[in-house]
Amino acid sequence: MDITEVRIKLASRRDDKLRAFCSVTFDNAVVVRDLKIIEGDQGLFVAMPSRKLNTRCGKCSSKNHLRAKFCNECGGGLREPAPSPSGRTRLHADIAHPINATSRDFLHKKVISSYHEELEKSKQPGYHPVEIYDSPEDYDA
């Protein structure tokens, strides 16, 4: 599988660790959106798109975020989620992710390289940021 396009949208606020959002197109056929480029303690890393995990209320069965103490629907108290074997509660689950280390390294290098290129472009006069989300009509052509 080949990465045919990487679109980078630089984050405007520089006071947090989020540096950019990006979308990656594979083989001109599949796009994965909402990857994040984050400045960590050991440098930049690529965070894959994820969703918040939910729990159901024991009283009314409505969905609530794991950290919620009370149900959004009925107001009943919610149980504390059980920690994972590592001792930390998983709050998010990946929507898409590389299957192995080789694929992850390949994706990471391509995205970080594109990020640095976009960062350099942003320093030029007249820079206009790239739109990373096309309209659905763009894919029907």
3-state secondary structure 22-44: EEEEECCCEEEEEEEEEEECCEE
Measured CA to CA in angstroms, residue 128 lies from 16, 50, 60, 121 at distances of: 22, 28, 49, 9
Residue 91: phi and psi, rounded to 5, are -105, -20
Note down pLDDT in tens along the chain; length 141 residues.
799 999 999 987 767 899 999 999 999 999 999 999 999 999 999 999 988 888 888 889 899 888 888 999 999 888 877 666 776 767 778 888 899 999 999 999 999 999 999 999 999 998 888 776 655 444 444
pTM: 0.73
Q: Tell me the domains of the chain and their CATH numbers.
A: 1-49+95-141 (3.30.1120.40), 52-92 (no CATH)
- pLDDT at residue number 140: 45
- pLDDT at residue number 82: 65
- pLDDT at residue number 45: 94
Residue 78 to residue 66: CA distance in whole angstroms: 9
- pLDDT at residue number 134: 59
- pLDDT at residue number 120: 93
